[in-house]
Amino acid sequence: MSRASTDLLFGLVLCFAGVAIAVVARAMPSIAGQAYGPGFFPSLLAVGLAACGLIMVTRSILQMSSRYAAAPTDLNQPPIGRRNLAALVWVVGGLAIIGGVMDSVGFLICVPVFMIVFMVILGERLAWSVVLSLASTSIAYYAFAKLLKVQVPIGLLDGLF
């Protein structure tokens, strides 16, 4: 995907976001006796976002028709390697899974598994990944749960600690 087409898409998303924010802001209740209610400031921002989106769309169309030189920001980025891409997907997916199950499964199980998979994907040795994950999560658990008194979820290991 070229830079101009990415910008075009980004501009359209901004226009859409601006319109959506404006619609929600307009539905906010007005306050009796006040000219500016809770929806006023978000409405201003919505107009700004939509305007920026529109400029971005116009600029990218002009760029695509080659009448303009490239925009000042260089967005050409090299492709991501397969291993790193897998790790990137795992960071997002793994964190989302942790968000879903950490309360019931517990920090001391979820997070080491997340770390081990992350490191193994990136080519670290399994044995070392297990040792590092267990050691670091145990130390961090002790520091936060025992010293700082944070209620770190213990989940399935309840009763052991």
Partner 1 sequence: MEHFFSQLSAAFGMLADVQLISVVLVASAFGLFVGAIPGLTATMATALLVPVTFYMTPLAAVAAIVSCTAMAITAGDIPGCLIRMPGTPASAAYTDETYAMTRRGLAAQALGSSLVSSVIGGLFGAIVLMIAAPVLASYALRFSSFEYFWLALMGLSCAAFISSSDLLRGMIALLIGLFLATVGMDPLTGTPRFDFGFTALLGGLNFIPIMIGMFAVCEIMNNLATDSERVRIKEIPKPVGRIFAGIGGLISRYRRNTARGAVLGTLIGALPGAGGDLAAWMSYSLAKRFSKTPEKFGTGHPEGVIEAGAANNAALSGAWVPALVFGIPGDAVTAIAVGVLIMKGLNPGPQLFESQAPTLYAIYLIFIVANLLLLPLGWLAIRLAMPLLRIPPHQLSAVILMFCILGSYAINNSIFDIGVMLLFGVVSFVLGRLGVPKGPIILGLVLGPMVEMNFLTSMAIADGRFLGFFERPIAGGLGVAAILIWGFVLMRALRGHSDKAKHAAKSDM
- To the nearest whole angstrom, how small is the minimum distance from the Cβ of residue 128 to partner 1? 8
Closer CB to partner 1, residue 113 or residue 160? 113
Q: Which is nearer to partner 1, 99 or 161 (CB)?
A: 99
User: Considering the rule CB under 8 A, would residue 24 count as an interface residue with partner 1?
Assistant: yes
By CB under 8 A, residue 155 contacts partner 1? no
Q: Which of 23, 31, 126, 156 binds partner 1 (CB under 8 A)?
A: 31
Other beta carbons within 10 Å of 40: 15
Q: To the nearest whole angstrom, how small is the minimum distance from the Cβ of residue 114 to partner 1?
A: 7
Contacts of 56 (CB under 8 A, 6+ apart): 7, 8, 10, 11, 14
Interacting residue with partner 1 among 22, 57, 108, 114 (CB under 8 A): 114
Q: Residue 10 interacts with partner 1 (CB under 8 A)?
A: yes
Q: Which amino acid is at 146?
A: K
Min dist CB 157 to partner 1, Å, is 16
> Do 120 and 126 touch, CB atoms closer than 8 A?
yes
CA separation for the pair 60, 11 (Å, rounded): 9
Q: CA 33 to CA 50: how far, in whole Å?
A: 29
Helices 3-26, 40-64: inter-axial angle, 10-degree rounding:
160
Residue pair 55/47 in contact by the 8 Å Cβ criterion: no
Nearest to partner 1 of 20, 159 (CB atom)? 20
Q: Interface residues for partner 1 in 39-98 (CB under 8 A)?
A: 39-42, 45, 48-49, 52, 55-56, 59, 66-69, 71-75, 77-78, 80-81, 84-85, 87-88, 91-92, 95-96, 98
